[in-house]
Amino acid sequence: MSNNTPAAKITVLGSGNFGTCLAHHLAQKGTPVVMWGRSQLIADSINTKHRNPKYLSHIELSPLLSATTELSDERLKNTEFLILAIPTQSLRQVLETLKGRIRPDTVIVCAVKGIENDTLCFPYNIIQQVLGENYATQTAILSGPSFAIEVAEQRPTAVSVGCMDKQVCNRVQELFHTAYFRVYTLDDPMGLEVAGALKNVIAVAAGAAVGLGMQQNARAALLTRGLAEITRLGAMLGAQPLTFMGLGGVGDLFLTCTSEKSRNFTVGYRLGKGEQLDVVLKTLGSVAEGVWTARAAYNLSQKLGADTPIISAVHGVLFQGKTISEALYGLLNRDMKAEVQLPQGTKPHA
């Protein structure tokens, strides 16, 4: 197939690991899917060989999945579901090219995880600013513990989809749900976005801890206190605390912080073993959102006055020249404090 392939009702933006696995997953359900990416080499390979030569290359992709490097007006006019699976720092630029070209009833499914560095905006905010409130209302956030390779191999997976519009949420649930890819709904898209972005930063810290040789006690403490930071910052942004106890919160955090399949964990692990950041990033093979999110998350926590020592430590190592040993020493020698701090005026239960 070529770039002249007729538009399908599902268009996926992004031909990386997650974009490819989602497009393949939806095509396997029997609906034609068009996947957009910048690489003509990838598009040609998918259209002629049913393989993405760079990402998930061992997976034979569904014949109902085609690829393109162009987004024509006709294709966008026929798109009922627009799936976003591109790096956060590129999202605004890509959406600007779509402004005024998407049909009014298009449902946007955002699988982007991160914070825009210049504006400290989450993907939902970027969609709202570029495309308008109507499209933001029709945007569903898809997040949860879901390594792309396992989804592509039809390994059992469960995720959450969050949207303020219940009908849109149910439509997206129906679109993605299968016996091996279970989708649960909730009405807190902001909570899913905060958890999805910040867990990548905590994963860098977790990988560094393992690289330094820290054992299971320390890793459990790091994940738990990392979850506390995510919940604290999320509450300041209006998220529901219970969201962080679900699949998109503690579920995704646990997966990303405990597996060598995680790109962000791998970055931290290699840093903990003494490698330089620029070398790690050049040889990683794909984008590690946690590195760039660490800068934005640190700036956001400073802006809001949030207590986020692990995020601050990761930022210090990545961007302020601190050694991992210095960052670890700073975390271990913080002042003593209560684990749970109740809001002022709240009385604990007897």
Residue 341 has pLDDT above 90, yes or no: no
CA distance 87 to 199: 16
Residue 4 has pLDDT above 50, yes or no: no
Whole-Å CA distances, 134 to 128, 139, 239, 244 = 8, 9, 21, 27
What digits encode the pLDDT tens for the residues 126-171? 999 999 999 999 999 999 999 999 999 999 999 999 999 999 999 9
Return phi, psi of residue 46, to 5°. Answer: -65, -40
Catalytic-residue membership of 337? no
What digits encode the pLDDT tens for the residues 210-227? 999 999 998 999 999 999
Catalytic, out of 99, 199, 282, 337 = 199
For residue 70, give every residue at least 6 positions away whose Cβ sits within 8 Å of its Cβ, in sequence order, or none.
Answer: 3, 36
Q: What is the pLDDT of residue 8?
A: 54
Arithmetic mean of pLDDT, 176-185: 97
Pairing of strands 157-162, 139-143: antiparallel
Take residue 7 and report the two structure tokens written for it: 């538009």
Decide: helix, strand or coil at residue 186: strand
Q: What is the pLDDT of residue 19?
A: 97
Q: What is the pLDDT of residue 347?
A: 53
pTM over 0.85: yes
CA distance 90 to 86: 7
| Angle at 251 (CA atoms; ends 230, 349), nearest 5 degrees | 60
Task: Please give the share of the chain, as a percent, with pLDDT higher than 90.
Answer: 85
What digits encode the pLDDT tens for the residues 248-265? 999 999 999 999 889 999
Take residue 102 and report the two structure tokens written for it: 């998407």
Q: What is the pLDDT of residue 324?
A: 87
Residue 343 has pLDDT above 90, yes or no: no
Q: Mind giving me the DSSP string for 25-42? A: HHHHTT--EEEE-S-HHH
Residue 330 has pLDDT above 50, yes or no: yes
Take residue 148 and report the two structure tokens written for it: 């792309």
Decide: helix, strand or coil at residue 339: coil
What digits encode the pLDDT tens for the residues 33-58? 999 999 999 999 999 999 999 999 99
What digits encode the pLDDT tens for the residues 270-310? 999 999 999 999 998 777 888 999 999 999 999 999 999 99
For residue 40, give every residue at least 6 positions away whose Cβ sits within 8 Å of its Cβ, in sequence order, or none.
Answer: 69
Beta strands of the chain (E only): which ranges?
10-13, 33-36, 65-68, 81-84, 107-110, 139-143, 157-162, 181-186
Going by C-alpha positions, the residue among 155, 124, 153 that lies closest to residue 137 is 124
Residue 340 has pLDDT above 50, yes or no: yes
What average pLDDT does the structure give for the chain? 92
